[in-house]
């Protein structure tokens, strides 16, 4: 049942070519190798949000920008690459996206940032990348269901991130200036 739901949902988002899908425990996933990195990686990325209490530096912004830009090379298949690279490129891309979205939320809402070192965050990224490779290669039947659950949760997380971003854009770029103009009209 879970696989049927995942297969139906991801059929609108992914090509689902069986030759480019992982098959943990012998069961083909409802999404391709890159989408596994993006969607399941989004769920794992949520676990790293509490570790993002460090101030951004140019180096950190550059690294996350590279995480996103690499998708141009691998997403458009400009160079040949393996299944492992496809999944890693999806994960790195979603890490970059979530980092910048979360950074925007932190800045807009003045959320607590400290001068903590980002080491634990980057260590978490490495662990997340390795765990995903273990999950998609696991020989156990439940591994397929587990990765699909991570993918479904990641899809929900991505939709939530888009909704929050649209809300932020509307609130701070459209409604706030409009409120100021209305306030200005009534002050005179």
Question: How many residues in the chain?
Answer: 188
Question: Residue 70 and residue 92: Cα distance in Å, rounded?
Answer: 8
Query: For position 183, what pLDDT does the model report?
Result: 61
Give the containing element (helix H, strand E) for 85. Answer: helix 83-108
The tokens of 185 are what? 């009209």
Mean pLDDT of 124-138: 97
Query: Per-residue pLDDT averaged across 88-117, rounded?
Result: 86
Query: Is position 11 within any domain?
Result: no
- What does the alpha-carbon distance between residue 65 and residue 169 come to, in Å, rounded to a whole number? 21
| DSSP conformational letter for 109 | T
In a domain, 10, yes or no: no
Q: Residue 146 falls within a domain, yes or no?
A: no
Specify if 173 maps to a domain: yes
Is 59 part of a structural domain of the chain?
yes
Mean pLDDT of 134-163: 95
| Of 183 and 43, more confident | 43
Coil/strand/helix, residue 114: strand
- How many CB atoms within 10 Å of residue 75? 13
pLDDT score at 171: 76
Instruction: Determine, yes or no, domain membership for 145.
Output: no
Q: How far apart are CA 173 and CA 108, in angstroms?
A: 12
CA atoms within 13 A on the CB side of 49: 20
For residue range 22-51, list pLDDT tens digits in order.
Answer: 999 999 999 999 999 999 999 999 999 888
Task: Compute the distance between CA of residue 7 and CA of residue 145 in angstroms, rounded to an integer.
Answer: 12
Does any domain span residue 95?
Answer: yes
Structurally, the chain folds into a number of domains equal to: 1
Average pLDDT over every residue of 116-130: 94
Q: Are 119 and 156 in contact (CB under 8 A)?
A: no
Looking at the domain assignment, is residue 7 inside a domain? no
Residue 66: other Cβ atoms inside 10 A: 11
For the chain, the straight-line distance linking the first and the last C-alpha, in angstroms and rounded, comes to: 63
Residue 104's domain comprises 34-133+153-187
Confidence at residue 16, expressed as pLDDT on a 0 to 100 scale:
96
Q: How far apart are CA 20 and CA 184, in angstroms?
A: 58
């Amino acid at each position: 049942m879970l696989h049927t739901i995942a297969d139906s949902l991801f059929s609108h988002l992914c090509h689902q070519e069986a030759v480019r899908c992982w098959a943990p425990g012998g069961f083909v996933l409802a999404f391709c190798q890159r989408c596994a990195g993006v969607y399941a990686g989004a769920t794992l990325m949520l676990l790293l949000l509490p570790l993002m209490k460090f101030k951004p530096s140019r180096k950190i912004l550059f690294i996350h920008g590279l995480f996103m830009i690499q998708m141009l090379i691998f997403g458009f298949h400009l160079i040949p690459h393996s299944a492992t690279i496809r999944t890693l490129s999806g994960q790195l891309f979603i890490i970059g996206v979530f980092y910048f979205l979360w950074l925007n939320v932190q800045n807009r809402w003045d959320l607590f940032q400290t001068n903590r070192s980002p080491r634990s965050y980057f260590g978490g990224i490495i662990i997340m990348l390795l765990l995903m490779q273990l999950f998609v290669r696991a020989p156990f039947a439940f591994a397929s269901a587990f990765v699909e659950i991570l993918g479904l949760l990641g899809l929900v997380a991505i939709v939530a991130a888009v909704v929050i971003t649209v809300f932020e854009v509307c609130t701070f770029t459209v409604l706030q200036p409009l409120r100021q103009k209305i306030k200005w009209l009534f002050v005179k």
